[in-house]
Amino acid sequence: MVALLEKEFFLSEILGRKVYLKSERVGKLDDFVIVETGKLPEVTHLVVSRSFGYPSLLLPWNKISLISNTEIVANVDSVTPYENPVPESAILLKAHILDKKILDMDDHEVEVVYDVKLALQNDTLYASEVDFSRNRLLRRLGLKKIANFFARYYQENATVSWIYVQPLPEKIGMFKGHVKLKVLKENLNEIHPADLADILEELDSDQRLALFTELETELASDTLEEVEPRVQRELISAIDLEDAAQLINEMSPAQAAAILSILPTTKAEQLLLLIDQESAPNVQRIIEQHDECILLYVTQSFIKLPPIWLAKDVINGYRELARDKDVIMYVYVIDDHNRLLGVVDIREIIMASDDQTLAEIMSDNLINLSPADTLYDATQMFERYSFRAIPVLDDDDHILGVVRFKDIRGIKPRLS
Amino acid sequence: MNRGKAYKLAALAAAHKTRAIILLKNGDHEGARKEEVAFLDRIEYIPGRLRQEIGPFLDASVQIKLNTVGMERNSRQGLVK
Protein backbone atom coordinates (compact mmCIF):
# COMPACT_ATOMS: atom_id res chain seq x y z
CA MET A 1 0.00 0.00 0.00
CA VAL A 2 1.60 3.29 -1.10
CA ALA A 3 0.84 6.69 0.33
CA LEU A 4 0.91 9.55 -2.13
CA LEU A 5 0.38 13.15 -1.19
CA GLU A 6 -0.94 13.87 -4.67
CA LYS A 7 -2.83 11.41 -6.82
CA GLU A 8 -1.46 12.96 -9.99
CA PHE A 9 1.87 14.53 -10.72
CA PHE A 10 4.28 15.11 -13.53
CA LEU A 11 7.40 13.14 -14.22
CA SER A 12 9.61 16.22 -14.31
CA GLU A 13 8.46 17.18 -10.81
CA ILE A 14 9.45 13.89 -9.23
CA LEU A 15 12.69 13.06 -10.98
CA GLY A 16 15.68 13.70 -8.77
CA ARG A 17 13.68 13.27 -5.58
CA LYS A 18 15.57 11.66 -2.69
CA VAL A 19 14.96 7.97 -2.15
CA TYR A 20 15.10 6.38 1.28
CA LEU A 21 15.15 2.77 2.28
CA LYS A 22 13.10 3.02 5.42
CA SER A 23 15.11 5.76 7.07
CA GLU A 24 18.39 5.54 5.22
CA ARG A 25 18.93 7.73 2.22
CA VAL A 26 20.26 5.72 -0.73
CA GLY A 27 20.02 7.87 -3.79
CA LYS A 28 17.83 9.86 -6.13
CA LEU A 29 15.00 8.87 -8.41
CA ASP A 30 16.43 8.61 -11.89
CA ASP A 31 13.68 7.01 -13.92
CA PHE A 32 10.58 4.84 -14.00
CA VAL A 33 10.21 1.51 -15.77
CA ILE A 34 6.83 1.03 -17.39
CA VAL A 35 5.11 -1.92 -19.03
CA GLU A 36 2.32 -1.66 -21.54
CA THR A 37 -0.66 -3.56 -20.19
CA GLY A 38 -3.95 -2.74 -21.84
CA LYS A 39 -4.77 0.92 -22.19
CA LEU A 40 -2.31 2.69 -19.91
CA PRO A 41 1.20 1.62 -19.05
CA GLU A 42 1.97 0.79 -15.44
CA VAL A 43 5.02 1.70 -13.48
CA THR A 44 6.76 -1.49 -12.38
CA HIS A 45 10.09 -0.25 -11.04
CA LEU A 46 11.88 2.85 -9.95
CA VAL A 47 15.44 3.37 -11.07
CA VAL A 48 17.46 4.94 -8.28
CA SER A 49 20.86 6.41 -9.02
CA ARG A 50 23.53 6.35 -6.37
CA SER A 51 26.69 8.32 -5.91
CA PHE A 52 30.30 7.30 -5.56
CA GLY A 53 30.08 4.73 -8.33
CA TYR A 54 27.62 2.47 -6.60
CA PRO A 55 25.36 0.57 -9.00
CA SER A 56 21.85 1.85 -9.55
CA LEU A 57 18.94 0.20 -7.82
CA LEU A 58 15.90 -1.24 -9.50
CA LEU A 59 13.19 -0.96 -6.89
CA PRO A 60 9.87 -2.68 -7.54
CA TRP A 61 6.86 -0.38 -7.30
CA ASN A 62 5.21 -2.62 -4.73
CA LYS A 63 8.06 -1.90 -2.32
CA ILE A 64 7.37 1.83 -2.30
CA SER A 65 5.48 2.96 0.80
CA LEU A 66 5.49 6.76 0.50
CA ILE A 67 5.88 9.46 -2.11
CA SER A 68 5.83 12.94 -0.65
CA ASN A 69 6.83 16.32 -2.03
CA THR A 70 10.40 15.83 -0.90
CA GLU A 71 11.09 12.13 -0.66
CA ILE A 72 10.32 8.62 -1.75
CA VAL A 73 10.44 5.85 0.81
CA ALA A 74 10.85 2.16 0.02
CA ASN A 75 9.98 -0.52 2.50
CA VAL A 76 13.08 -2.67 2.08
CA ASP A 77 15.86 -3.64 4.46
CA SER A 78 18.80 -4.03 2.15
CA VAL A 79 19.89 -2.64 -1.20
CA THR A 80 21.73 -5.77 -2.34
CA PRO A 81 18.78 -7.65 -3.90
CA TYR A 82 17.94 -4.54 -5.93
CA GLU A 83 21.32 -3.77 -7.40
CA ASN A 84 20.23 -4.90 -10.80
CA PRO A 85 20.78 -3.30 -14.18
CA VAL A 86 17.79 -2.09 -16.13
CA PRO A 87 16.80 -4.84 -18.61
CA GLU A 88 17.49 -4.12 -22.28
CA SER A 89 13.87 -4.51 -23.19
CA ALA A 90 12.56 -2.15 -20.50
CA ILE A 91 10.77 1.07 -21.41
CA LEU A 92 11.97 3.99 -19.37
CA LEU A 93 9.92 7.13 -19.04
CA LYS A 94 12.76 9.59 -18.83
CA ALA A 95 15.29 7.89 -21.09
CA HIS A 96 12.88 6.76 -23.78
CA ILE A 97 9.90 9.10 -23.70
CA LEU A 98 10.80 12.45 -22.18
CA ASP A 99 12.15 14.98 -24.70
CA LYS A 100 11.60 12.50 -27.47
CA LYS A 101 9.59 13.08 -30.59
CA ILE A 102 5.99 12.20 -30.87
CA LEU A 103 4.40 11.99 -34.25
CA ASP A 104 1.00 13.54 -34.61
CA MET A 105 -0.64 11.51 -37.32
CA ASP A 106 -3.42 14.02 -37.89
CA ASP A 107 -1.17 16.96 -38.61
CA HIS A 108 1.91 15.02 -39.53
CA GLU A 109 3.90 17.30 -37.29
CA VAL A 110 6.57 16.22 -34.95
CA GLU A 111 5.99 17.28 -31.36
CA VAL A 112 8.32 16.86 -28.44
CA VAL A 113 7.24 15.20 -25.22
CA TYR A 114 7.95 17.79 -22.57
CA ASP A 115 6.44 15.85 -19.73
CA VAL A 116 4.51 12.78 -18.72
CA LYS A 117 1.66 12.79 -16.25
CA LEU A 118 1.53 9.98 -13.70
CA ALA A 119 -1.64 8.99 -11.86
CA LEU A 120 -2.25 6.61 -8.96
CA GLN A 121 -5.23 4.33 -9.00
CA ASN A 122 -5.81 1.23 -6.87
CA ASP A 123 -2.24 1.29 -5.68
CA THR A 124 -0.93 1.21 -9.24
CA LEU A 125 0.91 4.11 -10.80
CA TYR A 126 0.02 4.72 -14.43
CA ALA A 127 1.50 6.93 -17.10
CA SER A 128 -1.74 8.61 -18.12
CA GLU A 129 -0.84 11.46 -20.48
CA VAL A 130 2.00 12.91 -22.48
CA ASP A 131 2.29 16.65 -22.52
CA PHE A 132 3.89 18.60 -25.32
CA SER A 133 2.72 22.05 -24.32
CA ARG A 134 4.91 25.07 -23.94
CA ASN A 135 3.64 25.46 -20.37
CA ARG A 136 5.22 22.22 -19.33
CA LEU A 137 8.48 23.17 -20.97
CA LEU A 138 8.53 26.49 -19.15
CA ARG A 139 7.83 24.80 -15.82
CA ARG A 140 10.62 22.33 -16.42
CA LEU A 141 12.95 25.22 -17.05
CA GLY A 142 11.94 26.70 -13.70
CA LEU A 143 9.93 29.53 -15.24
CA LYS A 144 6.73 28.92 -13.31
CA LYS A 145 5.50 32.52 -13.33
CA ILE A 146 5.77 32.76 -17.08
CA ALA A 147 4.16 29.35 -17.43
CA ASN A 148 1.24 30.49 -15.27
CA PHE A 149 0.94 33.66 -17.33
CA PHE A 150 0.67 31.65 -20.53
CA ALA A 151 -1.74 29.23 -18.94
CA ARG A 152 -4.03 32.11 -17.95
CA TYR A 153 -4.11 33.81 -21.28
CA TYR A 154 -3.33 31.16 -23.84
CA GLN A 155 -5.35 28.00 -23.71
CA GLU A 156 -3.05 25.38 -25.08
CA ASN A 157 -4.55 21.99 -25.42
CA ALA A 158 -1.40 20.01 -25.84
CA THR A 159 -1.79 16.88 -23.83
CA VAL A 160 -2.82 13.58 -25.22
CA SER A 161 -3.93 10.52 -23.43
CA TRP A 162 -1.57 7.60 -23.47
CA ILE A 163 -4.35 5.57 -25.05
CA TYR A 164 -3.45 7.21 -28.32
CA VAL A 165 0.25 6.93 -27.83
CA GLN A 166 1.61 3.60 -28.80
CA PRO A 167 5.12 2.34 -29.08
CA LEU A 168 6.28 1.41 -32.52
CA PRO A 169 7.46 -2.14 -32.85
CA GLU A 170 7.15 -4.79 -30.19
CA LYS A 171 10.91 -4.95 -29.84
CA ILE A 172 10.90 -1.46 -28.42
CA GLY A 173 14.08 -2.01 -26.51
CA MET A 174 15.94 -2.31 -29.77
CA PHE A 175 15.83 1.38 -30.46
CA LYS A 176 15.05 2.46 -26.95
CA GLY A 177 11.53 3.63 -27.70
CA HIS A 178 12.44 7.06 -28.93
CA VAL A 179 9.26 7.61 -30.80
CA LYS A 180 5.67 7.12 -30.04
CA LEU A 181 2.96 7.33 -32.60
CA LYS A 182 -0.31 9.05 -31.91
CA VAL A 183 -2.18 6.26 -33.61
CA LEU A 184 -2.69 2.63 -32.87
CA LYS A 185 0.09 0.50 -34.28
CA GLU A 186 -2.47 -1.66 -36.04
CA ASN A 187 -3.48 1.36 -38.18
CA LEU A 188 0.03 1.96 -39.51
CA ASN A 189 -0.69 0.02 -42.65
CA GLU A 190 -3.64 2.26 -43.46
CA ILE A 191 -1.55 5.40 -43.82
CA HIS A 192 -0.91 6.67 -47.34
CA PRO A 193 2.63 6.00 -48.66
CA ALA A 194 3.20 9.70 -49.29
CA ASP A 195 2.38 10.49 -45.65
CA LEU A 196 4.51 7.61 -44.41
CA ALA A 197 7.34 8.92 -46.54
CA ASP A 198 7.09 12.34 -44.85
CA ILE A 199 7.16 10.67 -41.47
CA LEU A 200 10.15 8.49 -42.30
CA GLU A 201 12.08 11.53 -43.45
CA GLU A 202 11.49 13.20 -40.07
CA LEU A 203 12.88 10.31 -38.04
CA ASP A 204 16.45 9.42 -37.28
CA SER A 205 18.01 6.26 -38.72
CA ASP A 206 17.08 3.77 -36.03
CA GLN A 207 13.54 4.98 -35.76
CA ARG A 208 13.17 5.03 -39.52
CA LEU A 209 14.32 1.46 -39.94
CA ALA A 210 12.16 0.25 -37.06
CA LEU A 211 9.06 1.83 -38.60
CA PHE A 212 9.90 0.70 -42.12
CA THR A 213 10.33 -2.94 -41.18
CA GLU A 214 6.87 -2.94 -39.61
CA LEU A 215 5.18 -2.16 -42.93
CA GLU A 216 3.59 -4.72 -45.19
CA THR A 217 5.63 -5.42 -48.33
CA GLU A 218 3.45 -3.59 -50.84
CA LEU A 219 3.11 -0.55 -48.61
CA ALA A 220 6.84 -0.58 -47.87
CA SER A 221 7.55 -0.69 -51.60
CA ASP A 222 5.17 2.20 -52.34
CA THR A 223 6.61 4.19 -49.46
CA LEU A 224 10.15 3.55 -50.64
CA GLU A 225 9.25 5.09 -53.99
CA GLU A 226 8.05 8.24 -52.27
CA VAL A 227 10.95 9.00 -49.92
CA GLU A 228 13.88 11.12 -50.97
CA PRO A 229 16.94 9.34 -52.46
CA ARG A 230 19.03 9.76 -49.33
CA VAL A 231 16.47 7.88 -47.29
CA GLN A 232 15.96 5.28 -50.03
CA ARG A 233 19.67 4.53 -50.02
CA GLU A 234 19.75 4.24 -46.27
CA LEU A 235 16.77 1.93 -46.03
CA ILE A 236 17.83 -0.38 -48.85
CA SER A 237 21.32 -0.60 -47.39
CA ALA A 238 19.99 -1.41 -43.94
CA ILE A 239 17.66 -4.31 -44.81
CA ASP A 240 18.53 -7.80 -46.04
CA LEU A 241 19.22 -8.18 -49.76
CA GLU A 242 16.38 -10.64 -50.15
CA ASP A 243 13.93 -8.25 -48.49
CA ALA A 244 15.17 -5.41 -50.65
CA ALA A 245 14.72 -7.52 -53.76
CA GLN A 246 11.18 -8.32 -52.69
CA LEU A 247 10.39 -4.63 -52.37
CA ILE A 248 11.93 -3.85 -55.73
CA ASN A 249 9.90 -6.60 -57.39
CA GLU A 250 6.76 -4.72 -56.40
CA MET A 251 7.89 -1.70 -58.43
CA SER A 252 7.76 -0.92 -62.11
CA PRO A 253 11.06 -1.22 -64.03
CA ALA A 254 11.25 2.56 -64.11
CA GLN A 255 10.99 2.96 -60.36
CA ALA A 256 13.25 -0.01 -59.73
CA ALA A 257 15.89 1.50 -62.00
CA ALA A 258 15.58 4.84 -60.23
CA ILE A 259 16.25 3.22 -56.88
CA LEU A 260 19.05 0.92 -58.02
CA SER A 261 20.80 3.76 -59.80
CA ILE A 262 21.38 5.60 -56.52
CA LEU A 263 22.91 2.60 -54.76
CA PRO A 264 26.58 1.66 -54.76
CA THR A 265 27.39 -0.45 -57.82
CA THR A 266 28.07 -3.68 -55.94
CA LYS A 267 24.80 -3.47 -54.08
CA ALA A 268 22.86 -2.68 -57.25
CA GLU A 269 24.49 -5.61 -59.05
CA GLN A 270 23.63 -7.97 -56.21
CA LEU A 271 20.04 -6.81 -56.25
CA LEU A 272 19.76 -7.17 -60.02
CA LEU A 273 20.58 -10.83 -59.62
CA LEU A 274 17.89 -11.28 -57.01
CA ILE A 275 14.99 -9.39 -58.52
CA ASP A 276 12.43 -10.90 -60.89
CA GLN A 277 14.47 -11.99 -63.93
CA GLU A 278 11.75 -11.02 -66.38
CA SER A 279 12.01 -7.36 -65.59
CA ALA A 280 15.71 -7.35 -64.70
CA PRO A 281 16.90 -6.81 -68.33
CA ASN A 282 14.63 -3.76 -68.68
CA VAL A 283 15.82 -2.38 -65.38
CA GLN A 284 19.42 -3.00 -66.33
CA ARG A 285 19.05 -1.30 -69.67
CA ILE A 286 17.51 1.76 -68.10
CA ILE A 287 20.31 2.05 -65.59
CA GLU A 288 23.32 1.16 -67.70
CA GLN A 289 22.54 2.44 -71.14
CA HIS A 290 20.59 5.50 -70.09
CA ASP A 291 17.94 4.07 -72.37
CA GLU A 292 14.90 6.16 -71.84
CA CYS A 293 12.78 4.93 -74.70
CA ILE A 294 9.23 5.20 -73.49
CA LEU A 295 8.40 1.61 -74.35
CA LEU A 296 10.53 0.54 -71.41
CA TYR A 297 8.14 2.27 -69.10
CA VAL A 298 4.80 1.01 -70.43
CA THR A 299 2.48 -1.42 -68.83
CA GLN A 300 0.29 -3.89 -70.69
CA SER A 301 -2.01 -4.21 -67.76
CA PHE A 302 -4.93 -1.88 -68.50
CA ILE A 303 -8.64 -2.15 -69.29
CA LYS A 304 -9.49 -2.32 -72.97
CA LEU A 305 -12.97 -2.87 -74.30
CA PRO A 306 -14.80 -2.71 -77.63
CA PRO A 307 -16.89 0.38 -78.33
CA ILE A 308 -20.18 -1.53 -78.23
CA TRP A 309 -20.11 -2.10 -74.49
CA LEU A 310 -22.81 -0.35 -72.51
CA ALA A 311 -22.01 1.88 -69.55
CA LYS A 312 -24.07 -0.29 -67.21
CA ASP A 313 -22.17 -3.43 -68.23
CA VAL A 314 -18.84 -1.74 -67.59
CA ILE A 315 -19.99 -0.61 -64.15
CA ASN A 316 -21.43 -4.00 -63.27
CA GLY A 317 -18.31 -5.82 -64.39
CA TYR A 318 -15.78 -3.23 -63.23
CA ARG A 319 -14.47 -5.20 -60.30
CA GLU A 320 -13.54 -8.12 -62.55
CA LEU A 321 -12.26 -5.86 -65.31
CA ALA A 322 -10.02 -3.88 -62.98
CA ARG A 323 -8.71 -6.77 -60.91
CA ASP A 324 -4.90 -6.92 -61.03
CA LYS A 325 -4.70 -4.13 -63.59
CA ASP A 326 -2.15 -1.34 -63.28
CA VAL A 327 -4.33 1.29 -64.96
CA ILE A 328 -7.89 1.25 -63.75
CA MET A 329 -9.07 4.83 -63.96
CA TYR A 330 -9.35 4.80 -67.74
CA VAL A 331 -11.00 2.41 -70.17
CA TYR A 332 -9.26 2.21 -73.53
CA VAL A 333 -11.76 1.64 -76.33
CA ILE A 334 -10.29 -0.50 -79.08
CA ASP A 335 -11.49 -2.09 -82.30
CA ASP A 336 -11.01 -5.69 -83.39
CA HIS A 337 -7.45 -4.98 -84.50
CA ASN A 338 -6.32 -3.49 -81.19
CA ARG A 339 -6.45 0.03 -82.61
CA LEU A 340 -7.27 2.70 -80.09
CA LEU A 341 -10.53 4.50 -80.82
CA GLY A 342 -10.93 6.53 -77.69
CA VAL A 343 -10.44 6.78 -73.95
CA VAL A 344 -13.05 6.97 -71.21
CA ASP A 345 -12.43 8.12 -67.69
CA ILE A 346 -14.22 5.84 -65.22
CA ARG A 347 -15.95 8.88 -63.79
CA GLU A 348 -17.56 9.56 -67.14
CA ILE A 349 -18.86 6.02 -67.27
CA ILE A 350 -20.41 6.41 -63.84
CA MET A 351 -22.09 9.65 -64.91
CA ALA A 352 -23.37 8.23 -68.21
CA SER A 353 -26.76 6.68 -68.79
CA ASP A 354 -26.95 2.92 -68.50
CA ASP A 355 -27.71 2.44 -72.16
CA GLN A 356 -24.95 4.62 -73.55
CA THR A 357 -22.19 2.78 -75.33
CA LEU A 358 -18.52 3.42 -74.70
CA ALA A 359 -18.31 4.87 -78.19
CA GLU A 360 -20.81 7.58 -77.21
CA ILE A 361 -19.03 8.45 -74.01
CA MET A 362 -15.38 8.22 -75.05
CA SER A 363 -13.09 11.02 -75.94
CA ASP A 364 -11.84 10.40 -79.45
CA ASN A 365 -9.36 13.27 -79.34
CA LEU A 366 -6.38 11.09 -78.58
CA ILE A 367 -3.44 12.36 -76.62
CA ASN A 368 -0.78 9.74 -76.98
CA LEU A 369 2.92 9.00 -77.12
CA SER A 370 4.66 7.26 -79.96
CA PRO A 371 7.23 4.44 -79.67
CA ALA A 372 10.07 6.77 -80.54
CA ASP A 373 9.29 9.13 -77.68
CA THR A 374 11.48 9.29 -74.62
CA LEU A 375 10.99 9.67 -70.92
CA TYR A 376 11.48 13.39 -71.36
CA ASP A 377 8.65 13.61 -73.89
CA ALA A 378 6.38 11.71 -71.55
CA THR A 379 7.27 13.98 -68.64
CA GLN A 380 6.43 17.02 -70.74
CA MET A 381 3.13 15.53 -71.77
CA PHE A 382 2.10 14.63 -68.23
CA GLU A 383 2.97 18.12 -67.13
CA ARG A 384 0.86 19.63 -69.85
CA TYR A 385 -2.24 17.46 -69.60
CA SER A 386 -2.24 16.19 -66.00
CA PHE A 387 -3.40 12.75 -67.09
CA ARG A 388 -2.80 9.78 -64.85
CA ALA A 389 -1.80 7.60 -67.79
CA ILE A 390 -1.02 8.10 -71.47
CA PRO A 391 -1.24 5.41 -74.17
CA VAL A 392 1.60 4.66 -76.58
CA LEU A 393 0.37 4.16 -80.15
CA ASP A 394 2.13 3.22 -83.36
CA ASP A 395 1.48 4.93 -86.69
CA ASP A 396 -1.67 2.90 -87.25
CA ASP A 397 -3.03 3.65 -83.80
CA HIS A 398 -2.36 0.18 -82.47
CA ILE A 399 -2.01 0.47 -78.70
CA LEU A 400 1.43 -0.72 -77.60
CA GLY A 401 1.00 -0.05 -73.92
CA VAL A 402 0.18 2.63 -71.39
CA VAL A 403 2.58 4.78 -69.38
CA ARG A 404 1.48 5.59 -65.86
CA PHE A 405 2.37 8.93 -64.33
CA LYS A 406 3.07 7.09 -61.10
CA ASP A 407 5.84 5.08 -62.77
CA ILE A 408 7.81 8.02 -64.05
CA ARG A 409 7.05 10.62 -61.41
CA GLY A 410 10.18 11.76 -59.70
CA ILE A 411 12.47 10.24 -62.30
CA LYS A 412 14.68 12.88 -63.82
CA PRO A 413 15.14 12.36 -67.55
CA ARG A 414 18.80 12.43 -68.46
CA LEU A 415 18.10 12.88 -72.14
CA SER A 416 16.14 15.87 -73.35
CA MET B 1 -10.88 12.19 -89.36
CA ASN B 2 -9.50 9.54 -87.08
CA ARG B 3 -11.11 6.20 -86.57
CA GLY B 4 -12.23 6.98 -83.05
CA LYS B 5 -14.09 10.04 -84.18
CA ALA B 6 -15.90 7.96 -86.79
CA TYR B 7 -16.96 5.44 -84.14
CA LYS B 8 -18.15 8.21 -81.89
CA LEU B 9 -20.25 9.74 -84.63
CA ALA B 10 -21.62 6.29 -85.40
CA ALA B 11 -22.50 5.78 -81.74
CA LEU B 12 -24.31 9.09 -81.61
CA ALA B 13 -26.05 8.24 -84.87
CA ALA B 14 -27.13 4.91 -83.38
CA ALA B 15 -28.73 6.74 -80.47
CA HIS B 16 -30.76 8.84 -82.90
CA LYS B 17 -31.71 5.81 -84.94
CA THR B 18 -32.85 3.97 -81.84
CA ARG B 19 -35.01 6.85 -80.74
CA ALA B 20 -36.46 7.08 -84.24
CA ILE B 21 -37.47 3.42 -84.14
CA ILE B 22 -39.02 3.73 -80.73
CA LEU B 23 -40.92 6.89 -81.63
CA LEU B 24 -42.20 5.31 -84.80
CA LYS B 25 -43.39 2.29 -82.90
CA ASN B 26 -45.20 4.59 -80.51
CA GLY B 27 -46.89 6.39 -83.38
CA ASP B 28 -44.94 9.64 -83.12
CA HIS B 29 -44.11 10.10 -86.78
CA GLU B 30 -43.00 13.70 -86.44
CA GLY B 31 -40.59 12.87 -83.65
CA ALA B 32 -39.29 9.88 -85.56
CA ARG B 33 -38.64 12.01 -88.60
CA LYS B 34 -36.60 14.50 -86.60
CA GLU B 35 -34.50 11.72 -85.13
CA GLU B 36 -33.90 10.26 -88.57
CA VAL B 37 -32.69 13.65 -89.76
CA ALA B 38 -30.32 13.86 -86.82
CA PHE B 39 -29.15 10.33 -87.62
CA LEU B 40 -28.35 11.30 -91.17
CA ASP B 41 -26.54 14.44 -90.05
CA ARG B 42 -24.18 12.33 -88.01
CA ILE B 43 -23.62 9.74 -90.72
CA GLU B 44 -22.88 12.41 -93.30
CA TYR B 45 -19.79 13.50 -91.43
CA ILE B 46 -18.22 10.09 -91.45
CA PRO B 47 -15.78 9.77 -94.37
CA GLY B 48 -16.73 7.22 -96.95
CA ARG B 49 -13.63 5.15 -96.33
CA LEU B 50 -14.72 4.52 -92.74
CA ARG B 51 -18.45 4.13 -93.23
CA GLN B 52 -18.21 0.56 -94.38
CA GLU B 53 -15.95 -0.37 -91.51
CA ILE B 54 -18.25 1.00 -88.86
CA GLY B 55 -21.44 -0.31 -90.45
CA PRO B 56 -21.59 -3.47 -88.33
CA PHE B 57 -20.84 -1.43 -85.24
CA LEU B 58 -23.69 0.92 -86.03
CA ASP B 59 -26.12 -1.95 -86.47
CA ALA B 60 -24.96 -3.62 -83.31
CA SER B 61 -25.27 -0.35 -81.36
CA VAL B 62 -28.85 0.12 -82.45
CA GLN B 63 -29.70 -3.46 -81.59
CA ILE B 64 -28.12 -3.32 -78.17
CA LYS B 65 -29.95 -0.11 -77.36
CA LEU B 66 -33.23 -1.58 -78.46
CA ASN B 67 -32.55 -4.63 -76.34
CA THR B 68 -32.21 -2.47 -73.28
CA VAL B 69 -35.76 -1.24 -73.81
CA GLY B 70 -37.01 -4.71 -74.70
CA MET B 71 -37.46 -4.14 -78.39
CA GLU B 72 -36.27 -5.98 -81.50
CA ARG B 73 -35.34 -4.35 -84.75
CA ASN B 74 -38.00 -5.20 -87.38
CA SER B 75 -36.18 -4.33 -90.56
CA ARG B 76 -32.56 -4.28 -91.55
CA GLN B 77 -31.59 -0.67 -91.46
CA GLY B 78 -27.97 -0.20 -92.25
CA LEU B 79 -26.22 2.92 -93.37
CA VAL B 80 -27.77 5.10 -95.99
CA LYS B 81 -26.43 4.02 -99.31
pLDDT tens per residue, range A235-268: 888 888 888 898 888 887 778 887 887 788 888 8
**Whether B57 and A307 lie within 8 Å, measured CB to CB:** yes
Q: Is the pLDDT of residue B78 over 50?
A: no
Domains and CATH numbers, chain A: 3-93 (2.30.30.240), 98-113+130-181 (no CATH), 191-291 (1.25.60.10), 297-408 (3.10.580.10)
Averaged confidence pLDDT in chain B? 84
Chain A closest-CA separation from residue B11 CA (Å):
5
**Whether A307 and B14 lie within 8 Å, measured CB to CB:** no
B50 CB within 8 Å of a chain A CB: no
Chain A closest-CA separation from residue B19 CA (Å):
12
**Whether B2 and A359 lie within 8 Å, measured CB to CB:** no
Averaged confidence pLDDT in chain A? 80
B61 CB within 8 Å of a chain A CB: yes
More confident residue, A325 or B80: A325
Q: Say if the ipTM goes beyond 0.90.
A: no
| pLDDT computed for residue A410 by the predictor | 65
Q: Is the pLDDT of residue A148 over 70?
A: no
Specify the range with the lowest mean pLDDT, choosing from A218-222, A353-357, A399-403, A412-416: A412-416
| pLDDT computed for residue A93 by the predictor | 85
Q: Is the pLDDT of residue A413 over 70?
A: no
Averaged pLDDT for residues B35-40: 92
Can you give the pTM of this predicted structure? 0.52
| pLDDT computed for residue A308 by the predictor | 94
Q: Identify the top-confidence range among A97-111, A154-168, A372-386, B30-44.
A: B30-44
B8 CB within 8 Å of a chain A CB: yes
Inter-chain CB pairs, A–B, below 8 Å: 56
| pLDDT computed for residue B81 by the predictor | 32
Contact indicator for A181, A158 with CB cutoff of 8 Å: no
Give the confidence band of B10 by pLDDT, cuts at 50, 70, 90: very high
B79 CB within 8 Å of a chain A CB: no
| pLDDT computed for residue A268 by the predictor | 85
Which residue is closest to B63 within chain A, CA to CA? A308
Which residue is closest to A306 within chain B, CA to CA? B57
| pLDDT computed for residue A160 by the predictor | 61
What residues in chain A have their Cβ under 8 A from chain B's Cβ atoms?
307-308, 310, 333, 335, 339-342, 354-357, 359-360, 362, 364-366, 397
Mutate to test the interface with B, among A335, A339, A341 (most CBs of B within 10 A): A341
- Chain B residues near residue A360 by CB distance under 8 angstroms: 8, 11-12, 14-15
Chain A closest-CA separation from residue B56 CA (Å):
10
Averaged pLDDT for residues A39-49: 88
Chain B closest-CA separation from residue A382 CA (Å):
22
| pLDDT computed for residue A312 by the predictor | 92
| pLDDT computed for residue B52 by the predictor | 86
B22 CB within 8 Å of a chain A CB: no
- Chain A residues near residue B57 by CB distance under 8 angstroms: 307-308, 359
